Chains A and B, each alone.
Chain A
Amino acid sequence: MPLNEVTKLYETLNKEFNSANPNLQKCGEYLEKLKIAMIEFQFIAPEGEAQDQKILLLTREILEIGALWSIRVKDIPSFERYIAQLKTYYHDYSNLPQSPRMYSIIGLNLLRLLAQNRLSEFHTELETIEPDQLVSNIYIKHPVEIEQYLMEGSYNRVWNARANVPANEYLFFMDILVDTIRNDIASSSKKAYTSLPLSDFGSLLYFNNENEVLKFAKEHNLNINMAEKEYTL
C-alpha cells in the first residue's frame, strides 16, 4: 500500500477510535490492514538511520492506538506485543517529538506488570524512566505509589486509588489488581486473626454482600462457622 493510502486509513482509524462510541470490531480490522502495510514498508523494524520522520511518527501513532485498542477489547497478549514494539520508538528514536500519550502508555504497562505480579520486570522497567518523571508525572506516579502500598500491605489505599486513576484505561488493570489483593488479604488474615465475625471479614475483603464472601471462602478453603457467623483460623 502506498504511503498516502496508509495515511488515509490511519486517519479513518483515528476518527473511529476517538469518537464517542467506537466500533471496536471495525477498528480491529483497520489495525490488521495497517499492520500488513507497515511490514511492507518495513516500518516495524526500520533498518539504518535514514528513515523519514513522517513515516516513523505515523508508525508510532498507529502502534499507540493499537495498544489502547487492545485494552478496550481486553486482549492482554496483544497489548504486550504493541508495547514491545513501542518501546523501541520511545527509547531509541529520541529525536522524534515526544508523543502526548507516551507516559500514559508507559504507566499502563507498569500497572499491567503489577497486576500480573511480575515485580522484577516492573522494577527493571522503572529504571528506564527518568527519575524526575517518577515523582512528578501523574501517569507514572500512580503505579509507583500502588507498588509502594502493595509492598507495605496498606490495601485500603490501593482500594481508594481506584477512584483517582489518571485515565480510564487504568481501570481495567485495577480490577485485575483487586483480585490479587483479595488473595493477599485472605492469606494475611489466615495468620493474623484467630476469629472474625463474618460481616467484618466481608468489609476487609471489600465485598458487599454475604454470598460473595461465602463463595470466596469456599474457593480458598477458609473455615466458616455458620452457627456463630464467624470465620476461624
Chain B
Amino acid sequence: MEANKEIKDVEMEVVKSPEEEQKELLNLLLADIKQNVINLEKAVDNIETRFITRVLRTFPNIRRRLTDVALAKIINIHETESMELDQESNDKNQSKTYLPEVETYLCLLVLIYLHDKKEYEKGAELSSNYIERIISFNRRTMDMLAAKFYFYYSRFFELTNRLSSIRTTLLAAQRTTALRHDNESQATILNLLLRNYLYYNLVEQADKLVLKTTFPEEASNDQFARYMLYLGRIKAIQLDYTSANRYLLQAIRKAPQSSKTVGFLQAANKLSIIVQILMGEIPAKSVFKQPELKKSLEPYFHITQAVRVGDLTKFKETLNKYTSVFRADHTYTLILRLRHNVIKTGIRMISLSYSRISLRDICHKLQLDSEEDAEYIIAKAIRDGVIDATINHEEGYMKSKEIVDIYSTNEPQEAFNECITFCLNLRNESVKAMRFPSNAYRKELASAKEIDDEERKLAKEIEDGELDDDSMDGDY
C-alpha cells in the first residue's frame, strides 16, 4: 500500500488546490480505515488476535487525521452496508454478517475524536450509553477492543470529575470479564479500579481489591507495568518498603521506553526514589541525570541531598519550598516520613567520625532540643542497629565501638545472595516473556519466503507503530 501511495503523490504533485488536498487526505483516511475493517473481519474469521493488534497499532496514526467529515462519511458507509447485508441475508442466508467488532471500532474512533476535541461531557455520555452493549457481547475477539473502550470510558468520567459514580459498573464488568477469561479487558479494568480508588486516596479498599483478585498473566506489558506501579504505591503507604521497591523496579523495566511514556516513567521513578531512601539506601546520581526526567526529578534530588548529609534544616527548607509539587504527586505523606531518615543519617555520621562525644555536643549537631532527647534517640538508634555504640549515662557521653573486620561477618554472603537472587529472577522473567507464533500458523505459510515476508512486515509495523498519547498518561 505504501508503494502505491508514493506513486500517487508523485503524480499529483503537479497541480493541487487546497480542496483537492483535503479530498486526497480524506480518501487516504477512508482507505486506511477500510483496511482496518477488513483486518477486523479477517480476525473474526480466523479467530486470530494478531490482526486486531495490527488494527490497534494504527490507532495513533489515524487519530491525528480524523475529522468530523471523515467520521460522518464512514458511519454512513457502514450503516448502508449493514442495511444491505441485512436485506441480503434475509434473501440469500449469506454467511457474511454484521460484525460488532466493526461497530465497536467505529465507536472507539468517535470517542477518540471527542476526546481530542475536548468534548468530555459528550464523550462520557456516549460511552455510558454504549457500555451496556459491550458487556453483553460474549466474543473472544472483542477482548482488545473492549479493553480500549473501558479505558476511555473511565478517562472521560475522570476528566469530568465523576469518577466515583462508575465504580459499581466497573466492579460488575470486572467480575464478568474474569468469568469469561477476557484477559486484556480484565487487566485494564483492574487497573482502572485501582486508579479510581487511589484517586480518592482509598488505600484500604484498593488493598482489599488486590488481595481478592488475581492479575491475569497473559495481559499486555503496558497493563502489567501500570499494575506494578499501583501496587508499589499501595505497599509504600503500608510501610512494606521491600515489596514496594521490587514492584516499582519491575514497573520501570516493563514500561516502554519511548518519548510518549515519559509521564509514566516520571511517576514510577519518583516513587522508586522515595522508597529507596526510606529503606536506607541512597539512589544513584545517574537516576537523576536521565535527560527526560531531569527537570521533574529536581525536587527529589534536593531531598535526597538533604537526607544524605543528615541536615535537618535543609530538609525542612526543601520540604517547604516544594510542598505544592509533592502534594500534586501524592508523595507528600511519604516524604514526611523521611524526617526520621535524616536524623538517622546524622547520627550515623557522628558515630563514625567520633570515637567519643558528649551528649550535649550531639544535641547541638543534630539541632535537637535537649540532652534527654538526644539520649533517647541514640538509644533507639543503637537498638535498631543503625550505629554501634554505648552510652555512659553518668558522665553523659556516647562511645563508639571499634570497627570490626567486615569480611569476618556474614555481610558479604548476604550481599552475594541478593545479587544472585536478582539475576535469577531477571532470567526467569525473560524466559517467561518470550513468545513464539503457534505451529499451526507456521504450517499455513508453506514456503519459507512467505514466513520471511510476514516477519518483515511485522517488524516494520512494530518499528513504525508509535504509542498512543493516552496509553501512558502523566497523572497517576
Let me know if A19 is at the binding interface, CB within 8 A. no
B203/A124 in contact, CB under 8 A: yes
Q: How distant is A106 from chain B, measured CB to nearest CB, in Å?
A: 14
Let me know if A194 is at the binding interface, CB within 8 A. yes
B239/A123 in contact, CB under 8 A: yes
Which residues of A98-132 are within 8 A (CB) of B?
119-121, 123-124, 126-128, 131
Which residues of B195-214 are within 8 A (CB) of A?
201-204, 207
A185/B376 in contact, CB under 8 A: yes
Which of A151, A192, A197 makes the CB contact (< 8 A) with B379? A192
Let me know if A157 is at the binding interface, CB within 8 A. yes
Which of B203, B207, B373, B391 makes the CB contact (< 8 A) with A192? B391
Count of chain A residues near B, Cβ 8 A: 31
Let me know if B23 is at the binding interface, CB within 8 A. no
Let me know if A22 is at the binding interface, CB within 8 A. no
A188/B393 in contact, CB under 8 A: no
Q: Is the interface of A mostly helix, strand, loop or mixed?
A: helix
Let me know if B378 is at the binding interface, CB within 8 A. yes
Which of B333, B376, B379, B382 makes the CB contact (< 8 A) with A126? B333
Q: How distant is A93 from chain B, measured CB to nearest CB, in Å?
A: 12
* Nearest B residue to A193, CB-CB: B391
Which residues of A46-92 are within 8 A (CB) of B?
none
A interface footprint on B325-339 (CB within 8 Å = 1, 0 otherwise):
001000011000101
Which residues of B174-211 are within 8 A (CB) of A?
201-204, 207
Complex Cα distance A134/B204, Å?
19
Which of B201, B377, B394 makes the CB contact (< 8 A) with A154? B377
Complex Cα distance A128/B201, Å?
6
* Nearest A residue to B327, CB-CB: A131
Contacts of A131 in B (CB 8 A): 327, 332-333
A153/B237 in contact, CB under 8 A: no
* Nearest A residue to B164, CB-CB: A92
Contacts A124-B203, A126-B333: A119 and B239 contacting too (C-beta < 8 A)? yes
Let me know if B242 is at the binding interface, CB within 8 A. no
Q: Is the interface of B mostly helix, strand, loop or mixed?
A: helix
A120/B376 in contact, CB under 8 A: no
Which residues of A137-162 are within 8 A (CB) of B?
148, 151-157
Which of B239, B377, B389 makes the CB contact (< 8 A) with A120? B239
B376/A127 in contact, CB under 8 A: no
Complex Cα distance A148/B377, Å?
12
B201/A148 in contact, CB under 8 A: no
Which of B333, B343, B393 makes the CB contact (< 8 A) with A123? B333
Let me know if A232 is at the binding interface, CB within 8 A. no
Which of A134, A156, A190 makes the CB contact (< 8 A) with B376? A156
Which residues of B389-427 are within 8 A (CB) of A?
389-394
Contacts A148-B339, A157-B373: A188 and B380 contacting too (C-beta < 8 A)? yes
Q: How distant is A44 from chain B, measured CB to nearest CB, in Å?
A: 19
Let me know if A27 is at the binding interface, CB within 8 A. no
Which of A124, A152, A187, A194 makes the CB contact (< 8 A) with B377? A152
Which of A124, A187, A192, A193 makes the CB contact (< 8 A) with B204? A124
Residue among A184, A191, A197, A200 with most chain B CB within 10 A: A191
Q: How distant is B331 from chain A, measured CB to nearest CB, in Å?
A: 11
Q: How distant is A202 from chain B, measured CB to nearest CB, in Å?
A: 12
Let me know if A222 is at the binding interface, CB within 8 A. no
A interface footprint on B350-392 (CB within 8 Å = 1, 0 otherwise):
0000000000000000001010110011111111000001111
Contacts of A184 in B (CB 8 A): 380
Let me know if A6 is at the binding interface, CB within 8 A. no
Count of chain B residues near A, Cβ 8 A: 34
Let me know if A196 is at the binding interface, CB within 8 A. yes
Contacts of A7 in B (CB 8 A): none
Let me know if A14 is at the binding interface, CB within 8 A. no
Let me know if B238 is at the binding interface, CB within 8 A. yes
Which of B202, B340, B390, B393 makes the CB contact (< 8 A) with A151? B340
Which of A127, A189, A193 makes the CB contact (< 8 A) with B333? A127
Which of B373, B379, B381 makes the CB contact (< 8 A) with A185? B379
Contacts of B240 in A (CB 8 A): 120
Complex Cα distance A181/B217, Å?
45
A154/B376 in contact, CB under 8 A: yes
Contacts A124-B207, A155-B376, A187-B383: A192 and B340 contacting too (C-beta < 8 A)? no
B391/A153 in contact, CB under 8 A: no
A148/B237 in contact, CB under 8 A: no
A194/B239 in contact, CB under 8 A: no
Contacts of A197 in B (CB 8 A): 393-394
Contacts of A119 in B (CB 8 A): 239
A interface footprint on B239-278 (CB within 8 Å = 1, 0 otherwise):
1100000000000000000000000000000000000000
* Nearest B residue to A130, CB-CB: B201
Residue among A119, A120, A152 with most chain B CB within 10 A: A152
B382/A127 in contact, CB under 8 A: no
Q: How distant is A221 from chain B, measured CB to nearest CB, in Å?
A: 16
Complex Cα distance A121/B201, Å?
13
Complex Cα distance A120/B383, Å?
21
A153/B381 in contact, CB under 8 A: yes
Q: How distant is B275 from chain A, measured CB to nearest CB, in Å?
A: 14
A156/B370 in contact, CB under 8 A: yes
Given A188-B380, A188-B382, A194-B390, output 18 extra A-B contacts at Cβ < 8 Å.
A120-B238, A123-B237, A123-B238, A127-B203, A127-B237, A128-B203, A151-B337, A152-B339, A152-B340, A153-B380, A154-B377, A156-B370, A156-B373, A188-B379, A192-B382, A193-B379, A193-B390, A197-B393
Give 7 pairs: A residue, B residue, CB < 8 Å, sorted on A: A123-B237, A127-B333, A128-B203, A153-B377, A154-B376, A184-B380, A192-B391
Question: Interface of A with B (CB < 8 Å)?
Answer: 119-121, 123-124, 126-128, 131, 134, 148, 151-157, 184-185, 187-194, 196-197, 200
